[in-house]
Structure 1
């Protein structure tokens, strides 16, 4: 043997030496077009047939992230009103934080209030009135007092209150959270 024929035979021998035991270990699987589930395959020639052979349900092909209107399980987004997460089951969570300067010098009994912080639109609309939480943190102890009720499109306005009068503006983080349904 000379030339190309010898090189081909040598190369084939190298492949058999390197992979022969592995290929022999595959047994009957090595000679089948469609490997059954019992032999470690999917039992199908197409992706759909493979999923059916493995007993997978419709969630096996669902997009996990995307738009829920297109069938994704989770949709995540944000805009100038805050952030939101929609779930395929119809649940919706919205949140945002507003950093604002506030003075608390309008008294009512033993409390001192800021001027009202206007209502804030939800970053995604709810189909019914959600459960809300509005909290405040700042340079001193303070808390929130909602100025009305929540609705399907916005958090209510809110006052920031303190037990001590604050005539100098302080930076306050107002944290909004709403949970409800989008469909």
Structure 2
């Protein structure tokens, strides 16, 4: 049926409009049609998805009806061991993001005081081992970037980065003719698994 509109008549007293009984009959007819569309007088079921609802009377049934997984109710950031999607941790070594999927990404800056570089054939070299901000379950991939305060005198570069689950042994090399030995810093980005 089409929506039944109550005739309010002419203001200010409603002359020519529906009387109370006729107005309520129209209202009841409108409500009956609405309830029938939604599933009946008792509304014992959730509004179906096809009719714009969730398909359930509870949150869990609604999520199921909409095809949502557990991420729909998880905290975005929090403790992943408590169901959050990701977790941010900062400690004295650096920082890391732990994801519910098992992925973990760590970042840190390592500052090194003035050290003696060993002489090699055609190069000078130095090894600095740093602990990672988080322990990985397997050896992570690492990306090391030198941030050298003395680069003009040292002409240094990263020769190798050899990670374990909790450390990274970083080998730096420089031209044999350079003399720089001052303090410098380097960054480590590690990507791996925490579970």
TM-score above 0.5, yes or no: yes
Q: CA RMSD in A?
A: 3.1
Describe how 1:62-77 pairs up with structure 2 within 5 A.
62-77=74-89
Partner of 1:142: 156
Higher helix share: 1
CA shift for structure 1 position 166: 2.4
More strand by share: 1
**Quick check: which has more Rg, 1 or 2?**
2
CA contact 2:141–2:190 (8 Å) conserved in 1 = yes
Residue 82 of structure 1 deviates from its aligned partner by 0.9
| C-alpha distance 81-98 of structure 1, shift in aligned 2 (>3 A) | same
Aligned to 1:180: 192
- TM-score, normalising length from structure 2? 0.64
Answer whether contact 2:71 2:85 (CA < 8 A) is retained. no
Return the match for 1:45 from 17, 34, 57: 57
Match in the other structure for 2:122: 110
- 2:67 and 2:50 mapped to 1: Cα distance? 13
Gaps of 5+ in 2: 1-29
* Distance of 1:87 and 1:144 partners within structure 2: 29
- Give the C-alpha shift of residue 79 in structure 1: 0.5
Aligned residues: 154
Name the CA distance, whole Å, in 2 between partners of 1:55 and 1:106: 62
How many angstroms does 1:66 deviate by?
1.5
Unpaired stretches in structure 1, ≥5 consecutive residues: 1-23
Q: Which has the higher contact order (CA 8 A, sep 6+)?
A: 1
Q: Is residue 104–residue 161 contact of structure 1 (8 Å, CA) maintained in 2?
A: no
